[in-house]
């Protein structure tokens, strides 16, 4: 078995090492007077404590002494670190887009924002490793196979990929609702490109090229989410030409999904909460007021729908272990011989036929 297929056995070590290293760096930063984390003040010390405690929990999933800790406590600790790390990395996607388009990362005041960007990247890596650690821990403590999570006889059975099938109806409806939340945002931007006043801030009118690019991106977003809930997301369809009929690698759709979903879901939800609480200055002043609500609604709706569809896709595409075929054994002497057609019956040799 190659090393990457043995990930349930070493993922806890990787998560523990990354969390310990990150927590140690934050502790050094606190001792030298740098107390901010991801651009927020006075979070470095709590972040260091959380990561160091999470490092111990991740190590408990792979070390013998971890068996003496209640499994539920270990699972709770690992998932808590995962959730908080995801929350801290919420803006990393926007930073990556900005870096790709402009070659720099800046805060809202126009200053260089490289350190918080690196911190968000680190937290995204922590979250990814802790998710895998939690999954491997659950499989090992439930008595199931660490590769597929199911119960089957021990050994190294063959792996069988599931046949293409759609997501459950509730997941599909959630995905379609997530796609629908993008439409008001897209329509308002299109109206702004037509020159309808009061939609874009400060009288800005986006060029037609930006509107076309926005709709193209919208199409890609709908395509990605639809593929997670439809059978053609598991096996390439006929219109993909030479790829038709081949199995879609699981990481092909899941990698961009898990890069996009946390940022969109947390950013959009947080903005809506701040608007409802009155923290963000928002006024109902026609189109601009609608755009101020349509944007976070689109981000939150699509992000959460993408996350739900991705979890369903991961569960539906997990290969199942099937018993390996038994080795063929040599037949016993006389086995499989048809007595009525194996030769002359004793006592009839040489006797003429009828």
Domain boundary among 121, 156, 191: 156
Same domain as 126, residue 31 = yes
Q: Are 161 and 317 within 8 A, CB to CB?
A: yes
If one counts the domains in the chain, the total is: 2
The CA–CA distances, whole Å, from 238 to 44, 126, 161, 242, 260 equal 52, 38, 19, 8, 28
Q: Can you say how many angstroms the Cα of residue 16 is from the centroid of all Cα atoms in its chain?
A: 20
Q: Output the DSSP codes for 22-90.
A: HHHHHHHHHHTT---BTTBTT-HHHHHHHHHHHHHHHHHTTSGGGGGS-HHHHHHHHHHHHHHHHHHTT
Report the largest interatomic distance among the alpha carbons of the chain, rounded to a whole angstrom.
Answer: 114
Same domain as 131, residue 9 = yes
Mean pLDDT of 316-337: 60
Same domain as 271, residue 220 = yes
Q: Are 64 and 86 within 8 A, CB to CB?
A: no
Same domain as 185, residue 291 = yes
Q: Is residue 340 part of a domain?
A: no
Q: In b/e form, how buried is each residue of 233-254, taking b as 16+ CB within 10 angstroms? A: bbbbeeeeeeeeeeebeeeebb
Query: Tokens standing for 115?
Result: 């350190």
Q: Which residue has the tokens 């990362």?
A: 105
The CA–CA distances, whole Å, from 172 to 29, 52, 167, 226 equal 46, 39, 6, 8
What dihedral do alpha carbons 22, 28, 32, 36 form, nearest 10°? Answer: 20
Domain of residue 219 covers 169-322
Q: Is residue 145 part of a domain?
A: yes
The CA–CA distances, whole Å, from 59 to 15, 29, 136, 236 equal 8, 24, 12, 39
pLDDT value of residue 156: 56
| More confident site: 153 or 90 | 90
Same domain as 245, residue 208 = yes
Q: Is residue 255 part of a domain?
A: yes
Domain boundary among 156, 183, 199: 156
Nearest residue to 215 (alpha-carbon basis) of 187, 177, 195, 192: 187
Condensed to tens digits (0 to 9), the pLDDT of residues 290-308 reads: 777 888 899 999 999 999 9
Q: Is residue 345 part of a domain?
A: no
Domain boundary among 128, 156, 184: 156
**What distance in Å separates the CA atoms of residue 52 and residue 20, rounded to the nearest whole number?**
5
Condensed to tens digits (0 to 9), the pLDDT of residues 174-232 reads: 999 999 999 988 888 888 777 777 676 666 677 777 778 888 888 899 999 999 999 99
Same domain as 8, residue 141 = yes
pLDDT over 70 (residue 338): no
Based on the number of CB atoms within 10 Å of its own CB, is 278 exposed (0-12), middle (13-18) or buried (19 or more)? Answer: exposed
pLDDT over 90 (residue 15): yes
Nearest residue to 261 (alpha-carbon basis) of 106, 95, 90: 90
Angle formed at CA 166 by CA 163 and CA 168, multiple of 5 degrees: 125
Same domain as 132, residue 80 = yes
Query: Tokens standing for 134?
Result: 């939690």
Same domain as 132, residue 192 = no
Q: Is residue 193 part of a domain?
A: yes
**What distance in Å separates the CA atoms of residue 227 and residue 260, rounded to the nearest whole number?**
15
Provide, rounded to the nearest whole percent, the portion of the chain with pLDDT above 70: 78
pLDDT value of residue 142: 73
pTM: predicted TM-score of the whole model, two decimal places:
0.70
Same domain as 10, residue 134 = yes
Q: Is residue 164 part of a domain?
A: no
Mean pLDDT of 116-122: 90
Same domain as 178, residue 293 = yes
Q: Is residue 348 part of a domain?
A: no
Mean pLDDT of 320-341: 51
| More confident site: 243 or 336 | 243
Q: List CB contacts of 66: < 8 A, sequence separation 6 or more.
A: 59, 60, 74
Q: Is residue 343 part of a domain?
A: no
* Helices vs. strands in the chain: H and E counts, helices first: 10, 2
Mean pLDDT of 106-129: 86
């Amino acid at each position: 078995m190659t090393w990457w297929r043995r990930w349930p056995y070493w993922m806890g070590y990787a998560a523990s090492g990354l969390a310990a290293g990150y927590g140690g760096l934050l502790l050094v930063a606190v001792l030298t007077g740098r107390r901010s984390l991801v651009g927020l003040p006075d979070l470095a010390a709590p972040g260091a404590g959380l990561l160091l405690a999470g490092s111990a929990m991740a190590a408990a999933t792979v070390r013998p002494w971890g068996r003496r800790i209640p499994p539920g406590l270990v699972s709770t600790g690992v998932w808590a670190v995962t959730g908080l790390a995801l929350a801290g990395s919420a803006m990393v996607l926007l930073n990556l887009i900005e870096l790709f388009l402009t070659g720099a990362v800046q805060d809202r005041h126009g200053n260089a924002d490289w350190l918080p960007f690196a911190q968000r990247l680190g937290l995204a890596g922590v979250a990814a490793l802790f998710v895998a650690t939690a999954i491997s821990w659950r499989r090992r403590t439930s008595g199931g196979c660490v590769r597929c999570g199911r119960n089957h006889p021990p050994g190294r059975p063959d792996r069988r990929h599931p046949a293409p099938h759609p997501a459950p109806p509730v997941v599909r409806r959630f995905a379609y609702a997530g796609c629908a939340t993008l439409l008001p945002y897209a329509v308002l931007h299109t109206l702004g490109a037509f020159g309808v006043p009061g939609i874009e801030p400060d009288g800005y009118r986006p060029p037609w090229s930006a509107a076309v690019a926005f709709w193209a991106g919208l199409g890609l977003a709908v395509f990605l989410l639809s593929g997670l809930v439809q059978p053609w997301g598991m096996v390439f369809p006929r219109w993909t030409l030479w790829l038709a009929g081949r199995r879609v690698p699981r990481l092909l759709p899941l990698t961009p999904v898990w890069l996009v979903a946390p940022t969109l879901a947390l950013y959009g939800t947080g903005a809506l909460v701040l608007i409802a609480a009155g923290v963000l200055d928002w006024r109902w002043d026609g189109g601009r007021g609608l755009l101020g609500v349509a944007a976070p609604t689109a981000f939150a709706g699509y992000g959460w729908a993408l996350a739900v569809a991705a979890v369903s896709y991961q569960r539906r595409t997990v290969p199942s272990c099937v018993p390996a075929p038994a080795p063929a054994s040599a037949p016993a002497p006389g086995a499989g011989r048809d007595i009525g057609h194996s030769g002359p019956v004793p006592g009839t040799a040489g006797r003429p036929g009828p």
